[in-house]
Amino acid sequence: MSEIILRDICKSYENGFQAVKNFNLEIEKGELVVFVGPSGCGKSTTLRMIAGLEDISDGELWIGDKLVNYLEPKERDLAMVFQSYALYPQMNIYDNIAFSLQVRKVPKKEIDKKVHHVAELLGLENLLKQRPKNLSGGQRQALSMLMATLKRPELLLLDEHTAALDPKTSVALMELTDEFVTGDHLTALMITHHMEDALKYGNRLIVMKDGQIIKDLTKEEKGQLDITDYYAMFE
């Protein structure tokens, strides 16, 4: 059975606008699926419905063997990383990393080991007692992403998580994202406006327009595209 199933998903608003129309998609466990498309095509709305931040107007959403249409976000066993930094400003960096592990009642010794592993990856070993405000934007976003993966969620949602970063930092974070998502066999959905990232990373490329999927490309198929081919889809 597929890990995530979206079956005839629709999102309509009171003014009659249909943001997402008859959306059908099945995602296998361990896939990194990349969503692209022009602004307003329904990408973020789709992710927000999956996360439980937007109501589903019609259709069914399954995560594993659960129909989750009416479950609260905290009941869906997922993590989401936005453009903004999902850190607790009142906590130091050590406590930020440790928090989700403490909630899951992970033993203290294992928490300490994981915190120092993440800190080493990001070069933050000497900053664990500092607050997040003392980090660069790239460091904060990388920390947010790694904290999300530490939760070992059923599903990781990445909504343009590199958009606010400079090009060099964005490239570094995407490499780190790919390393953690594919290395840990996480199931993940990612929205990006960077076509270079969309063509380079992920098992599948979902191209959206006007609230619908117009292309569902495998890794091999998207490997044959260039940016010119992408923009030609919307002519």
Q: Are 99 and 132 in contact (CB under 8 A)?
A: no
Rounded to the nearest 10 degrees, what angle do helices 137-150 and 93-103 cross at? Answer: 20
Name residue 158's beta-bridge partners.
81, 190
pTM for this predicted structure = 0.85
Structure tokens belonging to residue 68: 């989750």
pLDDT in tens, 31-71: 999 999 999 999 999 999 999 999 999 999 999 889 999 99
Q: Is the pLDDT of residue 225 over 70?
A: yes
pLDDT in tens, 146-184: 888 887 888 999 999 888 888 888 888 888 888 888 888
As a whole number of angstroms, the distance between CA 206 and CA 224 comes to: 15
As a whole number of angstroms, the distance between CA 33 and CA 105 comes to: 31
